[in-house]
Amino acid sequence: MDRSAPAMAMDKKTALMRIDAFAKLPRGVLAQLSEVSGLQHIGRGSTLFRENERAHFVYAIVDGRVSLVTGAEREESIVDFVDDGDIILIPPALLQLPYMATAKATTDVLALLIPAADFRHLAETELPFAVIVTRILAAQWRLLLKNFTQARAGDAEQRLIRYLLERAGTRQGAAKFSLPGSKRELAAHLGMTPETLSRALKRLSVLGVATSGANIEIVSVARLKTSTQDSRSQMRGELASTSDHHL
């Protein structure tokens, strides 16, 4: 998908084509979406919507990145980061329920806002649109279960390694990428304190992980992945030893 068009000069039809799922829709459905939707520029650090607010819109992220946050301000937990090309929280719009999380812009954002009532109407009357929505919900459900499982598996260092491996986008060789938000936000997403995250990143330097602000560089993705496999083998050995001792 070509994402080179300047965000400030973009029209709604171009914006729709930059949402991967919508780009596959028939022209007639795209025209209906374009007619009812609107573009909104949202500054970094701003809130798109808040947890427990009524879902008046479905947000499609055309450009930028958003974090989904739950919990009280001092006990916030970041459920996930949403990148450009993705669509946020469809279920509240379909079910006419409040948002389940707060959405905050971690960068400047260009979003396409689709009124919830129009979104429901298209889902109920246009089969191609309903199929796309079903696929989006299925993919998001799988991701939710994956995040839920990984957030509770392993220690802080292992959770961080798994996250870095996913962001690397390759199984071997070197990798460079930027974190989707601040290190504090990443710590909240991984279920640890910022101090624990800093210590974990320092320990990973011996495995070829270097950080500079929000930028991450991994010398060897394969080596980093091997470290997680070694840790699992060690854990299984310790558990087996403990079982033998009790027996």
Please state the domain extents for the chain. Answer: 7-150, 156-246
Q: Which residue has the tokens 């650090």?
A: 45
Pick from 89, 33, 30, 34: nearest CA to 59:
89
Instruction: Give the tens place of pLDDT for each residue, 178-211.
Output: 888 788 878 877 878 888 888 899 889 999 999 8
Query: Helix, strand, or coil here: 224?
Result: helix
Residue 213 has what pLDDT? 84
Instruction: Give the tens place of pLDDT for each residue, 147-183.
Output: 666 655 567 788 888 888 888 888 889 999 888 878 8
Contact (Cβ atoms closer than 8 angstroms) between residue 59 and residue 18: no
HEC assignment per residue over 167-225? HHCCCCCCEEEECCCCHHHHHHHHCCCHHHHHHHHHHHHHHCEEEECCEEEECCHHHHH
In whole angstroms, what is the distance from residue 99 CA to residue 89 CA? 7
69 strand-pairing partners: 78, 102
Task: Read off the pLDDT band of 126 (50, 70, 90).
Answer: very high
What does the chain come to in residues?
Answer: 247
Architecture of domain 7-150: Sandwich (2.60)
Instruction: Give the tens place of pLDDT for each residue, 90-106.
Output: 999 999 999 999 999 99
Burial of 199 (0-12, 13-18, 19+ CB in 10 A): middle
Residue 73 has what pLDDT? 64
Q: How far is CA 246 from the centre of its chain?
A: 43
Q: Which positions ≥6 away from 137 have C-beta within 8 Å?
A: 90, 91
Residue 229 has what pLDDT? 59
Q: Which residue has the higher pLDDT, 124 or 190?
A: 124
Contact (Cβ atoms closer than 8 angstroms) between residue 217 and residue 210: yes
Q: Which residue has the tokens 């070829």?
A: 208
Instruction: Give the tens place of pLDDT for each residue, 20-36.
Output: 999 989 999 999 999 99
CATH class, domain 156-246, is mainly alpha
Q: How far is CA 37 from the centre of its chain?
A: 23
